[in-house]
């Protein structure tokens, strides 16, 4: 935590310098959230907590077409779990959320620092969730960033090219089964092009995975190279439809983790019922196999997402996952009430006691079984 605080103090000092020494635009905003969560099936049935994300932005325009801007934000949170008259649990942290600097023109963007990198055509079950952990049921859409450099160039015909290099990201990201070697750079890129009534993209990423804790591995070294390939396409015809796929291949045999294949197909459509009912359906298959495309250790999920605006300030949404491999259903319902600067959420869920949903949230154990959560969010 101490290193995190040093980084934040350094960048906040930098913002103060720019504010006093350059003719630019300085903005400060923040998001404060508080929740209470009750699930009788948890070891600690009652959890409550608060989170505050302060965000500082500075923009300095070099010319009409050239801009330099900075962003820094922190994630400050604390949680308490209780089993009345029996047990108590506490956790919390202060850590950087976003810290980046960017140079941009009408066609070029270069951004360096702690940032969010995401792309792809899928809506909820995302095979190309390579660098983030966004849970579609989270109303705040929070995710840790990655340290790296991202460059994007946009051609006049809407073709665009992405190049990135990452360093210092040891934790697992997205669908990764193994941690990354923190001190070995990662790199990759993406080519995205328009198509008739849609667009398509091809992505590639290379990293070194940490295999030191892989007990059944026969490799001698502590790390092994991984090549990751992605394809996605989306079209707007009578309905919106897409396909998104990812294949990860390790350069040495590490058993069932040697290859990972994830494929998603989906559609969405808004029906003219009342204020408009939006329906999203996705089908996903994910597998980890010793040989490419065996699909011997596969899991198949169907997802249905319904969203309906009750009025100008109210929205009701539901997400249902069905795990065909284990014959289990996961159900989530959310009512959102929007005020001027406040947003209120009432969420309920009915899930199996043994959680096996395809998401990368480390706290999913809280959502096993049935429960209810209240959340209040203040944006300023």
88-123 pLDDT tens trace: 999 999 999 999 999 999 999 999 999 999 999 999
Locate the DSSP E strands across the chain.
25-38, 46-61, 67-83, 87-104, 108-115, 146-154, 160-166, 186-195, 198-210, 223-236, 240-250, 259-271, 277-289, 298-309, 314-323, 328-338, 342-350, 370-379
227-271 pLDDT tens trace: 999 999 999 999 999 999 999 999 888 888 899 999 999 999 999
CB environment 186-212: b (16+ within 10 A), e (fewer): bebebebeeeeeebbbebebebbbbbe
Helix residue spans in the chain (DSSP H): 2-21
pLDDT class for 353, splitting at 50, 70, 90? confident
Site of tokens 């649990």:
89
CA-wise closest residue to 221 among 233, 212, 213, 230 = 212
**Weakest mean pLDDT among 162-171, 204-213, 342-351, 362-371:** 362-371
Can you read off the two tokens belonging to residue 306? 């319904």
d(CA 8, CA 98): 10
pLDDT tops 80 at residue 162? yes
175-188 pLDDT tens trace: 998 899 999 999 99
Contact 292, 261 (CB under 8 A): yes
In-domain check, residue 301: yes
Site of tokens 């359906």:
281
In-domain check, residue 13: no
Residue 41, pLDDT score:
87
pLDDT tops 70 at residue 13? no
Distance from the Cα of residue 285 to its chain's centroid:
19
In-domain check, residue 85: no
In-domain check, residue 291: yes
d(CA 70, CA 57): 6
Residue 282, pLDDT score:
97
Contacts of 377 (CB under 8 A, 6+ apart): 31, 32, 33, 139, 140, 342, 343, 344, 345
pLDDT class for 364, splitting at 50, 70, 90? low
pLDDT tops 80 at residue 5? no
In-domain check, residue 94: no
22-33 pLDDT tens trace: 568 999 999 999
Radius of gyration from C-alpha coordinates of the chain = 22
pTM exceeding 0.85? yes
Q: Which domain holds residue 122?
A: 107-379
Number of structural domains found in the chain: 1
In-domain check, residue 198: yes
Average pLDDT over the chain, rounded to an integer? 90
pLDDT tops 50 at residue 360? no
DSSP state of 2: H
Can you read off the two tokens belonging to residue 204? 């590639």
Residue 215, pLDDT score:
63
pLDDT tops 70 at residue 348? yes
* CATH number reported for the structural domain that contains residue 219 in this entry: 2.40.160
Beta bridge partners of 68: 60, 103
**Weakest mean pLDDT among 39-43, 182-186, 299-303:** 39-43
In-domain check, residue 22: no
CA-wise closest residue to 208 among 178, 177, 184 = 184
């Amino acid at each position: 935590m101490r290193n995190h605080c040093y980084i934040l103090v350094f960048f906040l000092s930098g913002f103060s310098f720019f504010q006093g020494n350059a003719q630019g635009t300085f903005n400060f905003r923040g998001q404060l959230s508080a929740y209470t969560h009750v699930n009788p099936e948890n070891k600690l049935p009652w959890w409550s907590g608060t989170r505050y994300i302060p965000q500082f932005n500075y923009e300095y325009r070099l010319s009409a077409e050239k801009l330099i801007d900075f962003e820094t934000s922190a994630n400050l949170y604390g949680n308490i779990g209780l089993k009345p008259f029996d047990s108590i649990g506490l956790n919390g942290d202060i850590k950087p959320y976003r810290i980046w600097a960017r140079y941009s023109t009408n066609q070029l963007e270069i951004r360096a620092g702690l940032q969010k990198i995401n792309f792809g055509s899928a809506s909820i079950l995302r095979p190309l969730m390579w660098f983030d952990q966004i849970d579609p049921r989270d109303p705040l859409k929070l995710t840790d960033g990655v340290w790296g450099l991202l460059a994007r160039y946009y051609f006049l015909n809407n073709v665009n090219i992405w190049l990135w290099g990452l360093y210092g990201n040891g934790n697992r990201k997205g669908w990764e089964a193994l941690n990354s070697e923190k001190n070995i750079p990662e790199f990759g890129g993406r080519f995205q092009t328009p198509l008739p009534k849609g667009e398509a993209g091809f992505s590639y990423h290379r990293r070194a995975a940490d295999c030191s804790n892989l007990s059944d591995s026969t490799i001698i070294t502590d790390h092994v190279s991984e090549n990751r390939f992605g394809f996605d396409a989306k079209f707007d015809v009578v309905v919106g439809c897409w396909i998104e796929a990812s294949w990860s291949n390790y350069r040495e045999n590490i058993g069932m983790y040697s290859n990972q294949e994830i494929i998603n197909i989906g559609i969405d459509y808004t029906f003219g019922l009342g204020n408009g009912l939006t329906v999203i359906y996705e089908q996903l298959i994910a597998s980890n196999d010793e040989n490419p495309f065996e699909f011997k250790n596969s899991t198949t999920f169907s997802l249905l997402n319904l969203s309906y605006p009750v009025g100008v300030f109210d929205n009701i949404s539901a997400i249902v996952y069905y795990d065909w491999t284990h014959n289990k259903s996961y159900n989530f319902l959310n009512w959102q009430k929007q005020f001027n600067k406040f947003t209120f959420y009432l969420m309920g869920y009915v899930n199996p006691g043994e959680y096996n949903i395809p998401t990368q949230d480390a706290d999913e154990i809280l959502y096993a079984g049935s429960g209810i959560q209240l959340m209040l969010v203040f944006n300023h």
